[in-house]
Structure formats: C-alpha cells, structure tokens
Amino acid sequence: MDKLLDEFISFLEVEKGLAKNTIQSYRMDLNKYLNFLTGKKIKNISKTTKTNIISFLLFLQKKGMASSTISRNLASIRAFYQYLAREGYVRKNPTIDLDSPKPEKKLPHVLTVCEVERLLAQPNCSELLGQRDKAMLELLYATGIRVSEMVNLDKDYVNINMGFIKCVGKGSKERIIPVGSIALKNLEIYLKKVRGKLVKNPKEKAFFLNHHGKRLTRQGFWKILKGYAQKANINKKITPHTLRHSFATHLLENGADLRSVQELLGHADISTTQVYTHLTKKRIKEIYNKTHPRA
C-alpha cells in the first residue's frame, strides 16, 4: 500500500503539478488512513470497502477532529481511490456515493447590550469622521444590515423624513428597513453637517464617505470597528458582522418573532435565522445558572 501511495504522490507532483504544501497534506492524510487499515489487519487496498472508510472517519471523529478536517481527509481518500480505479488497482471505487460530514454550525459572536453601548459611545462626535462613525455604528445596530449593504448605501436610499432605508442585499434583493430614532438622529446630523464637507465630487452617490470623499470600503470600516472595540475594552472576537449578530440576538431576547427578524435580516431561508435562537437559549441558561438559588 505504501508503494501505491508513492505512485499517487508522484502522479500529483508530475501530472497534476500541485503545490508542495497540498501534496504534503495528501500524504499526511493518506498515511493516517493506511496506518488505520494496517491496524485493522488489512494489507491489500483492493480488499477495502466503504465500511472501512466510514470506520476511519468515525475514528477521526472520536479523536475530536473538526468536521472540516474530516472532510479534508475524505477528499484525500476519494482522490486516492479515483487514481487507483483509473490505474486498475481496484475494481470498484468504495468512495462513490459516500457523503462528506456536514460542517459544524458555529454560533456567531455577539455583544451584550452593555458592550454595544460602550462601543457606540466611543466615536468623538465633535469631529467630522467621529460623527460619521457614530452614524454608521448606530445604523448597523439599529437595522442589522450587513456591512457590505451599509457601505453600498446610496444617498437616495436613506429617507430621513420617513425613517427608513432601502437596502440592496444578496441577489440584488431590495428590502425596506425601519430605522430607530437614535440612529435616525445621527444619520440626520451626518447628512446635514458632515457628508457635505467630506464629498469632493457633487455627483458622488455614496452615503458614507471616507476622508478622500469616496465610498467607504468594508476594509475601511473593519479598521474603524477594531479601533473602537479596543477603546471600549471589548476583548471578544469582533468582526464586521458582530453588530448584525447582536441586533438579531437582542431582538429575539426581547420577544421579537423569528419571521420578523428573518425579514429584517434579509435571510432567504428561516433556518439561517434560527441560529440566533440557539444563542438566546444559551443566554437564558447562563442567566438561570447565575440567578437561581438551586441552579
């Protein structure tokens, strides 16, 4: 079996021209698999079955490996058997119709209400860019829109008088989202006192501008957010999506129904929104454990 592995690796190097790191990953994964077979007294690769492969994947799972790592191992094994079948070393490829393990659903990181308030209090509103940042942070927490949706907002998409924004989400789907009074007030201040001083080209459509007078980018906002998170002494992992996750979680914690949150977030499938119910259940359990005398 080791000889067949060497042949396969040579095939990847010479005919496929794969990178050294990729080839090293194949060799490492397949060495694990072949050692597993040897431990099961299987010395002929042509005698292996789908059951052997499933047993190996379960073995990796019991060792605590992530589903992404197990999927990578299976991909290596699948490629190996495809090569063996093509070269006539095995009559049947046992990996056909073998499903990869489903990836784990990682719960998103959220801030507490107190942490959000600390974050929102950081911008210096006496400065032009500080007032812009305040408006952006308040808008994200008030509406739950994606950062990409925020930076893509055009001036015409923000209706201060009616209290809503028009958002263009994934798949160019439009949705109308109400904006809370505090966020609305900061948007109005930004529009009246800041945007006009930042803009260089009167034809510029973007609502939020950088110091060059052009549309702010996701990367630009990410740097801004990280700076304010440090100032607020928030040690949690924060991403551009953190305020969106916090928005959804806090709504559900305060009694909002799942369908409404789904519509506000612009999720096509409610199962995507349901991840936040896991967060609220976890939060409720934490509160119970801290406050109940017999928890």
Residue numbers annotated as active site: 146, 170, 241, 244, 267, 276
Distance CA 130, CA 197 (A): 13
Kindly list the distances between the CA atom of residue 231 and the CA atoms of 110, 140, 176, 227, in Å, as whole numbers in the listed order. Answer: 18, 19, 33, 6
Among 211, 213, 116, residue whose Cα is nearest residue 223: 211
141, two tokens:
């927490």
**Where does residue 219 rank: exposed (0-12), middle (13-18), buried (19+ CB within 10 A)?**
exposed
What are 149's two structure tokens? Answer: 């949706």
Residue appearing with tokens 């042509």: 46
The whole-angstrom separation of Cα 165 and Cα 65 is 44
Q: Give residue 90's Cα distance to chain centre.
A: 40
